[in-house]
A and B are shown apart, each in its own frame.
Chain A
């Protein structure tokens, strides 16, 4: 008798070997896709969206590439998810994490073919990951005490991160920008305080960090274009017609004259409100909501700069930099904290007028103005800078630093290899495989740079056999070089996250022996 069908019509089920094969194939395909973007000589990808306008993105950022892919393979989805998490958590290493997980699975595939049970592989991988982490921990450098050195560490990390991106030409310039911006945050990881404004035109080199704050808004007509020693009131209040908020209220009148009266009262109310605001003794007023013509005129009359419709983030940031509070009621002028800044002026960047607040009290926030030839360049520059900023802000909290250029992978691989030799049983194969997967990363970096990877990695391995070696791949000169001298560094936190989440993901995919796909939900295409 035929086996009863227990699943729904379109649902499918893959079992045992086939399931494992499906997930390996999916995961490895994803890895191969992003692998070419790894390293300083990695290539970019063009992504075309299926949405309206078929927008084009050119990027080198693993997370961005993977996020825009439409994937049907469940195992591939796991990899995309870890890449996303890596992006949210540390901001960089989004490609590395996928590549490492893919390589781990590629090695696992061979082991499974050699009849080693997935559970044995997993336990081997776990031991290896733990050992690799300890190896890294032993070699970290922590320059927390020495501010000068720490700053140079940050600089190096920023340059290493940026070197694989479009900004690599001006990496020093941008690294400086990023480090300066992050140092201003004073240990907070809230990157919201760093505003990035993109203005097409000029070249990437023209990008600059502004100590003050730039608001992408215009100054109202007939109002002063320049204010010195500004006292700023940051507000979130309705400056159109102030509605009566009591529910169910409405105006019902029986004659035209009444309408006029009420309109007058409304105007009076607004005038009063403006008067109250003026009572704070300010000369600049920034509101989150619209300012109608009437109050704007009143402000202009009083010689006050009024800026309307700043977005919410802008308001928060402005409050943060100027040290004021966001006000919504204006009855107690004496207790409202006003923001201060030395100078407000309208500046031009490219063709646009922007409002520039300089000499602000609290230096926590700052603005980076990016210039570049096209929107694509600017978008990619923003993403790269974002990566650098994320890594730096995380490094400020966890100051441990490692060398880069494939150095950490080689250090880990060496330790893991040693562990493999010591471990009895089938697990040692898995541990060995783990070290091979680690070595794959410098190999890919070298391959992407068009170098002879086999030769280089072998040299590197030999170098690492010596104690306390700092050798890594110097992609620029195409040889093995001293990473400490070349100033290539990476944050420990990023490497650790790459290692742990890649292992976790590989483990998860390895444990699967059955894939059940439900019938896709039918989209109703009715008119």
Chain B
């Protein structure tokens, strides 16, 4: 019970110890938090690396997700513990910022927590541990910059990019055709990238999936696909050199926003109103025809009459196209989104070399392909696969690969994967530890040990002897002073990651270390957990 005394010495209760509340404080709280954090990282640990396993997650509604992606696992895990939620956040922020390495960051944080627990047992104050970690992370990040290598690539030489994407994809279920997918991802990113500004807008890459076929059928479409068909079944299914009118107004009589009534009290009014109505439809369709459009894409629905008029005028049309897709179409075809028929002008039309409808399988699934657009800067990756879960997992994997490619365009420094970078950092941090006087030295050393956790997990998952392998690689790195040695997960026969072509991005790795350290610091600083028990 937390008691305080006022100036007259009378006790008053600040926090009432109740049945309904549970409270942990001091060392006990820290240990509880640490064990929660470690429990989360233990779940993800087996997913790390090319031989990592997948997790099967069943959602509250019974849907099944099978994935290897750390961020997805944690997001769908339905976590209840507060500290565990922090770890989920950690993985998510790595996902937002970098897109890849979401498992690694959690494993790293778990290892840091584990080391911290030992230090706590030895009586070191949590704040000192946190400070030591902070220093160590700075050393590690600086060291990463030193060992990073510049990676040269150009629009014609995409090989290095493909190799890096392949490293990312090799840990996923899609590794069967990682080469093809990596090429698709890189080509997609390059076609939307702004190499001058070193920026990539991933929104321009649409990832669509449809079950059926096989993974090898996945393709990159220089254009847009829309999961819609023509509004009238008898409209042409293929249009060449299409001029596209992109509309956000329905082919329906206008609906003024202000409240109003049109009263009909005479026969004349009834008739004029009717003529008016017909004129509306005629005008709308005529306007589209006048500006020279050969395809109308509309966000809203069509009235039956308008639909037939369009058909009659030989003007194919697509209705109910979503806002995001509409924007992408506008970007791809260089057209403008037109909110009113009156504003339709020939300059505002988008252009595409070929628009075609394609049907799949035995059901009536149809998709509209808009290809050879005026501006090829919007692309679509169209994924095929044996089942729904496969498609979803492929989507996530492609997203990771796209992010990696984007990161490389932003910053073309790489470090070596397979745990090589971690081992190298660990050596550097260990060496630096001795220079620090004071208790922090222990924390820094602990940090170095924690860095070893990633290669150890990699080795464990690949069925190698973890300690033996790690020490062998470590001594090799020190002996030859070469940071390229890592864990040989695929049993290729060499430890040199340079030869194996296993790369990761520098910013991804740096971000992992920084984020993990930050979260661990935050967790260490908590010394009191008050939670209302279930009601």
Residues of B within 8 Å of A78, CB to CB, are 64, 66, 387, 389
Q: Tell me which residues from 117 to 166 in chain B have a Cβ below 8 Å from any Cβ of chain A.
A: none
- A78 and B365 alpha carbons, distance in the complex (Å): 22
Q: Which residue of B lies closest to A133 (CB)?
A: B214
- A327 and B310 alpha carbons, distance in the complex (Å): 11
Residues of A within 8 Å of B7, CB to CB, are none
Residues of A within 8 Å of B363, CB to CB, are 88
B362 touches A248 (CB 8 A): no
Chain A window 366-399, contacts with chain B (Cβ cutoff 8 Å), 1 for yes, 0 for no: 0000000000000000000000001001100000
Chain B window 377-409, contacts with chain A (Cβ cutoff 8 Å), 1 for yes, 0 for no: 000000001111110000000000000000000
Q: Tell me which residues from 480 to 527 in chain A have a Cβ below 8 Å from any Cβ of chain B.
A: 500-501, 504-505, 507-509, 511-521
Residues of B within 8 Å of A11, CB to CB, are 77-78, 80
Residues of A within 8 Å of B173, CB to CB, are 507-508, 511
B53 touches A250 (CB 8 A): no
- A141 and B454 alpha carbons, distance in the complex (Å): 52
Query: Of B58, B254, B386, which contacts A501 at CB under 8 A?
Result: B386
Query: Of A4, A191, A328, which contacts B304 at CB under 8 A?
Result: A328
B60 touches A519 (CB 8 A): yes
Residues of A within 8 Å of B21, CB to CB, are none
Shortest C-beta distance, A498 to chain B (Å), equals 10
B273 touches A6 (CB 8 A): no
Among A9, A89, A126, A258, max chain B CB count under 10 A is at A89
A88 touches B273 (CB 8 A): no
A85 touches B362 (CB 8 A): no
A521 touches B61 (CB 8 A): yes
- A3 and B41 alpha carbons, distance in the complex (Å): 13
B212 touches A85 (CB 8 A): yes
Residues of B within 8 Å of A269, CB to CB, are 271, 274
A251 an interface residue at 8 Å Cβ cutoff? Answer: yes
B46 an interface residue at 8 Å Cβ cutoff? Answer: yes
- A237 and B266 alpha carbons, distance in the complex (Å): 25
A251 touches B234 (CB 8 A): no
- A159 and B252 alpha carbons, distance in the complex (Å): 51
Query: Of A1, A192, A237, A253, which contacts B31 at CB under 8 A?
Result: A1
- A501 and B387 alpha carbons, distance in the complex (Å): 8
Q: Which residue of A lies closest to B255 (CB)?
A: A247
Query: Of A7, A74, A82, which contacts B79 at CB under 8 A?
Result: A7
Known contacts being A326-B234, A329-B309, A511-B66, is A6 close to B53, with CB within 8 Å?
Answer: no
A244 touches B263 (CB 8 A): no
Known contacts being A508-B54, A513-B54, is A326 close to B308, with CB within 8 Å?
Answer: yes
A4 touches B36 (CB 8 A): yes
Counting contact residues on chain B (CB < 8 A from A), the size range is 35 or more
Chain B window 36-67, contacts with chain A (Cβ cutoff 8 Å), 1 for yes, 0 for no: 10011001001000010111111111101010
B364 touches A190 (CB 8 A): yes
Residues of A within 8 Å of B277, CB to CB, are 244-246
B80 touches A236 (CB 8 A): no
Known contacts being A88-B361, A328-B304, is A516 close to B311, with CB within 8 Å?
Answer: no
Residues of B within 8 Å of A91, CB to CB, are 362
Query: Of A118, A246, A319, A518, which contacts B233 at CB under 8 A?
Result: A319
Residues of B within 8 Å of A336, CB to CB, are 312
Shortest C-beta distance, B530 to chain A (Å), equals 15
A467 an interface residue at 8 Å Cβ cutoff? Answer: no
Residues of B within 8 Å of A89, CB to CB, are 211-213, 360-362
A454 an interface residue at 8 Å Cβ cutoff? Answer: no
Q: Tell me which residues from 73 to 87 in chain A have a Cβ below 8 Å from any Cβ of chain B.
A: 74-75, 77-78, 81-82, 85, 87
B262 an interface residue at 8 Å Cβ cutoff? Answer: yes
Residues of B within 8 Å of A249, CB to CB, are 262, 264, 273
A237 touches B304 (CB 8 A): yes
Query: Of A5, A262, A505, A517, which contacts B386 at CB under 8 A?
Result: A505
Q: Tell me which residues from 187 to 209 in chain A have a Cβ below 8 Å from any Cβ of chain B.
A: 189-192
A50 an interface residue at 8 Å Cβ cutoff? Answer: no
Please list 24 pairs of residues, one from A and one from B, whose beta carbons are closer than 8 Å in the complex, sorted by A's number: A6-B40, A6-B84, A7-B81, A78-B389, A88-B211, A117-B463, A190-B364, A237-B304, A245-B252, A248-B261, A251-B265, A258-B265, A326-B308, A328-B305, A328-B309, A329-B308, A504-B385, A505-B387, A507-B173, A508-B389, A511-B54, A511-B173, A516-B73, A517-B57
Given contacts A19-B56, A521-B60, 7 further A-B contacts (CB under 8 A): A329-B281, A336-B312, A511-B53, A511-B66, A513-B53, A516-B55, A516-B77
